[in-house]
A and B are shown apart, each in its own frame.
Chain A
Amino acid sequence: MREVNVRDIQKTVKDLCIKANVVLRPDILRALRSAFRLERNAKAKKILKALLENAAAAKRQKMAICQDTGMVAAYIETGEDTRIVGGSLENAINKGVAAAYRKGYFRKSVVKDPFIRINTKDNTPCVLYAKLIKGNRVKITISLRGFGSENKGKVKMFDPTASTGEIKNFIIGVVKDAGPDACPPYLIGVGIGGTLDKSAALAKEAILRSLNKRNKLLHIAKLEKELLSDINKLKIGPMGLGGKTTALGVNILAYPTHIAGMPVAVSIGCHATRNATKII
């Protein structure tokens, strides 16, 4: 049994929150550079240039890429042969978040009660997902959820007899509804199957996956490519000013589901979708 102290988890959470807020994901940076090269629409090109300049400015000045530094989601995957020692895991994670938001001059955007809306002043609590995995490692992923794009996500419970076409139309419709409002070019996460909540969780996990990877299942990888092509035909473009790039990628995750259902969840990730992972 390997022991991991919550102190190390707290430090890792803090470092990951800072990294995710300040350094744009390399796959997104690469996709934006490629979109900039290929774009012919002058306005769209100007916006893509600003996005690249913004990423460079944030990294150079160790500043938040976006002022909406989000609500934090923490994914803790603990090996079955690991024992967490030294105190409460949940407290350690929230302490790590609070330390990062203080040190990094990140915005505290969390309110204690959805009705009363008093700011907790340290950006906690985070949304916590814990999972057991094989081995003795602890894998920590921090994902920051800015609400300009978070607000545009949707879940729909389809009939099991629904056609792929109907499902595609729903996904494209969610992007169309988001329009220029949620900071395109987007990274679209789709979760299909499971239950109402599982599909939403899958859509969020899909967004964490690199744009350079496709789903391992061929029929789903095909759907990802078709959806990306269809979404880019919407011509929303960077900041909604037209052009070729409405989405940088569509990532789908699927899961077994019930004979009576076909849950489909769509999460819209902005051009500054932020997450970082470390294994301890």
Chain B
Amino acid sequence: MELSKLNLQKLKVGDIIFLDGTIYTARDQAHKRMAETIKKGKRLPLDLNGKIIYYCGPTPTPKGRAIGSCGPTTSSRMDAFTPLLLKKGLRGMIGKGRRSAEVRKAIKKYRGIYFLTYAGCGALLSKYVKKAKTITYKDLGPEAVYKLEVKNFPLIVCIDSKGRDLYKNLENR
């Protein structure tokens, strides 16, 4: 499914899709930096508008491959920063595990979406990444922001744009 043609707001919790298009990796330190930049009122090195962020820090790329092992990391560590990024136009997120009530509310408010992908399957997921390039925060090494071109990347809708959550029965205690 081509990202540009995909109506994210029509997707429902539990839907499975296979994505074609461009996504960007960002994890803990990149989120911290982006949030600091926004709070200072400065311009981000990556325009978040309409983008999808993948919580992932890939391994180095072996020779002859597009990317190394590249599965999702635990999304909840990004919860504190997510509402701010959604406010700045971020459209969707890909990761693993639960999100906070605040994130759920912000997804509903800004009509965003949160996807899961196969957790702990970095070798398998690397098959669906056709190109990878670091575009900013290169000093962060594995935590740099990579631009990824993906094809048939498997996703499960975990929180849809109406705020419905696949994990609502597994709330944090």
List the B residue with the shortest CB-CB distance to A46: B16
* Interface membership of chain B positions 58-91, coded 1 if the CB is closer than 8 angstroms to chain A and 0 otherwise: 1111100100111101101000000000000000
- List the A side residues contacting B73 at CB < 8 Å: 67-68, 148
Q: Is the CB–CB distance between A240 and B141 below 8 Å?
A: no
Write the nearest CB–CB distance from A122 to chain B, whole angstroms.
11
Is B21 part of the binding interface, using a Cβ–Cβ cutoff of 8 Å?
Answer: no
Is A4 part of the binding interface, using a Cβ–Cβ cutoff of 8 Å?
Answer: no
Q: Is the CB–CB distance between B119 and A108 below 8 Å?
A: no
Is A177 part of the binding interface, using a Cβ–Cβ cutoff of 8 Å?
Answer: yes
Interface size of B as a range: 35 or more
Write the nearest CB–CB distance from A115 to chain B, whole angstroms.
13
Given A63-B123, A107-B59, A180-B98: A239 and B142 interface contact (C-beta under 8 Å): no
B residues with CB within 8 A of A: 29, 56-62, 65, 68-71, 73-74, 76, 96-98, 116, 118-124, 126-127, 141-142, 154, 156, 166-167, 170, 172-173
Q: Is the CB–CB distance between A105 and B123 below 8 Å?
A: no
Is A226 part of the binding interface, using a Cβ–Cβ cutoff of 8 Å?
Answer: no
Given A63-B68, A67-B57, A108-B142: A240 and B122 interface contact (C-beta under 8 Å): no
* Interface membership of chain A positions 54-83, coded 1 if the CB is closer than 8 angstroms to chain B and 0 otherwise: 110110010111111100000000000000
Given A181-B97, A240-B167: A67 and B74 interface contact (C-beta under 8 Å): no
Supplied contacts A61-B62, A61-B123, A148-B74, 7 more A-B pairs, CB within 8 Å: A50-B121, A61-B65, A63-B62, A65-B123, A148-B119, A180-B98, A271-B120
Write the nearest CB–CB distance from B54 to chain A, whole angstroms.
11
Q: Is the CB–CB distance between B60 and A57 below 8 Å?
A: no
Q: Is the CB–CB distance between B124 and A57 below 8 Å?
A: yes
Residue among B29, B71, B73, B120 with the highest chain A CB neighbour number at 10 A: B120
Write the nearest CB–CB distance from A66 to chain B, whole angstroms.
5
Q: Is the CB–CB distance between B124 and A53 below 8 Å?
A: yes
Q: Is the CB–CB distance between A177 and B118 below 8 Å?
A: no
- List the B side residues contacting A64 at CB < 8 Å: 59, 68-69, 122-123
Q: Is the CB–CB distance between A177 and B124 below 8 Å?
A: no
Q: Is the CB–CB distance between B173 and A176 below 8 Å?
A: yes
- List the B side residues contacting A183 at CB < 8 Å: 96, 119-120
Residue among B60, B167, B170 with the highest chain A CB neighbour number at 10 A: B170
Q: Is the CB–CB distance between B167 and A50 below 8 Å?
A: no
Q: Is the CB–CB distance between A181 and B76 below 8 Å?
A: yes
Cα–Cα distance between A68 and B71 once the two chains are bound (Å): 8
Q: Which one, A51, A58, A109, A272, contacts B142 given CB within 8 A?
A: A109
Is A276 part of the binding interface, using a Cβ–Cβ cutoff of 8 Å?
Answer: no
Given A65-B69, A67-B59: A179 and B98 interface contact (C-beta under 8 Å): yes
Cα–Cα distance between A47 and B121 once the two chains are bound (Å): 10
Cα–Cα distance between A55 and B123 once the two chains are bound (Å): 8
Write the nearest CB–CB distance from B59 to chain A, whole angstroms.
4
- List the B side residues contacting A117 at CB < 8 Å: 29
Q: Is the CB–CB distance between A272 and B120 below 8 Å?
A: yes
Write the nearest CB–CB distance from B125 to chain A, whole angstroms.
8
Q: Is the CB–CB distance between A177 and B173 below 8 Å?
A: yes
Q: Is the CB–CB distance between B123 and A119 below 8 Å?
A: no
Write the nearest CB–CB distance from A32 to chain B, whole angstroms.
11
- List the B side residues contacting A179 at CB < 8 Å: 97-98, 167, 170, 172
Cα–Cα distance between A105 and B65 once the two chains are bound (Å): 11
Cα–Cα distance between A181 and B97 once the two chains are bound (Å): 4
Interface hits, A251-272 → B, CB 8 Å: 270-272
Q: Is the CB–CB distance between B60 and A105 below 8 Å?
A: yes
Cα–Cα distance between A67 and B96 once the two chains are bound (Å): 13
Q: Which one, B58, B65, B96, B120, contacts A54 given CB within 8 A?
A: B120
Q: Which one, A63, A119, A180, contacts B69 given CB within 8 A?
A: A63
Q: Is the CB–CB distance between A119 and B141 below 8 Å?
A: yes
Is A151 part of the binding interface, using a Cβ–Cβ cutoff of 8 Å?
Answer: yes
